[in-house]
Structure 1
């Protein structure tokens, strides 16, 4: 048993409401940070980095898979780490277990991928064992050193404009611990959640709040049409956001 006090339901609700004020302030501060993050300066990436993928050689542009935004997590799976070759870094593996289904990020024009030093045969085996469904590439050059992930895990974010790639954001350490959900990745992406309530730079693509949501196997299908009966429920939730 903890040393927390035992109270009546009314006293508990009072304490919850007092804490809720602070939690809402924390959420609003997170929204403001995400808005500032979307205004980070961009760094051109002019080096032609090379990777190995399940289908052979791949460039950094290839990792985008035709989308405009790319989030890359450096997964430590290589000789000398963890229980190689049976498994990779336990912390990276925990991160991978909590990563949301990539279809939701894909729907917002984002590709999420892992990069490691392990060869593709070992990556394929581990993906099969763990049930992970994220594109995973083998590092072949200085990409990890150049982007701060040669000695420690980290997440790099990129934006593509035509053939030009820009680095827009980087987080590592405990900052990585907060990632994993669809929304946490959207909040570090160049265009954010792309919903109308967000405070974003002019020209950022945006759509009505919530209405892009689908079950992960229904994006772009007849079954994936928005159910208008949800507008009332989600509209009520939007009012509570304030």
Structure 2
């Protein structure tokens, strides 16, 4: 390998400071992109989609679990996928491994759920085997085809206003590789991180950073 040179600590720090300028530019650009995402138009969901869940049939509304925002990842776990029935898609499994504790998303009125074509019995076995604790539902209709995830993985974002649901965002391909952490997921949502430093439309819920943060077992109190 053609490795970079070994330099003095002073030269290393100078190089780090030079790179830091570009890294901060990248961070500001990412924040601006999230602000634009919060202003995207939405499309209404008019079909009644049905899933099979751990406790029986579930509607798209049920997947929200009472919250306003829903992130749905299409996980490929079904008979025609390599590893079936013991394992899911390698790439989808890697994404599942990096999902942060869900309590932090839930505290921001956001639910994350996975959907697959596998029956609930198989999904329960896979979750136990892999140590995952993500709400996971079985597709029973054309939801995957309607939202661009019938032939490839992808992440759809939805917003619920009472009984009215709209689709707000979608990413796939390399877009999915950046998600998993709490902040990355919230940046995809229509309400964002809901912190007062964000550039959001008037009236959006916001609070100071740090104030709402908790250890994951402390949110109920």
Short-chain TM bin: over 0.9
Which residue matches 2:150? Answer: 150
Which residue matches 2:96? Answer: 96
Q: Give the TM-score normalised by structure 1.
A: 0.90
Q: Which runs of 4+ in 1 moved over 4 A?
A: none
Q: Which has the higher contact order (CA 8 A, sep 6+)?
A: 2
Q: Give the TM-score normalised by structure 2.
A: 0.99
Once the two structures are superposed, what CA deviation does each residue of 1:52-78 show, in whole Å capped at 9, x if it has no partner?
000000000000000000000000000
Q: After superposition, where does 1:155-234 map in structure 2 within 5 Å?
A: 155-221=155-221
Cα distance in 2 between the residues matched to 1:15 and 1:111: 41
Cα distance in 2 between the residues matched to 1:30 and 1:109: 22
State the 1:203 CA deviation: 1.3
State the 1:3 CA deviation: 2.5
Cα distance in 2 between the residues matched to 1:82 and 1:8: 49
Once the two structures are superposed, what CA deviation does each residue of 1:23-76 show, in whole Å capped at 9, x if it has no partner?
000000000000000001000001000000000000000000000000000000
Once the two structures are superposed, what CA deviation does each residue of 1:178-224 show, in whole Å capped at 9, x if it has no partner?
00100000100110000000000111100011211111111022xxx
Cα distance in 2 between the residues matched to 1:219 and 1:118: 32
Cα distance in 2 between the residues matched to 1:125 and 1:48: 28
SS in 2 for 1:187: helix
Q: Does 1:137 align with 2:137?
A: yes
Which residue matches 1:15? Answer: 15
SS in 2 for 1:10: helix
Which residue matches 1:225? Answer: none
Cα distance in 2 between the residues matched to 1:86 and 1:6: 47
Structure 1: where are the runs of 5+ without partners?
A: 222-242
Q: What is the alpha-carbon root mean square deviation over aligned residues?
A: 0.7
Q: Does 1:42 align with 2:55?
A: no
SS in 1 for 2:157: strand
The answer to whether the 8 Å contact 1:195/1:210 transfers is: no
Aligned length, in residue pairs: 221
State the 1:5 CA deviation: 1.3
Cα distance in 1 between the residues matched to 2:125 and 2:149: 23
Cα distance in 2 between the residues matched to 1:142 and 1:40: 25
Cα distance in 2 between the residues matched to 1:80 and 1:106: 33
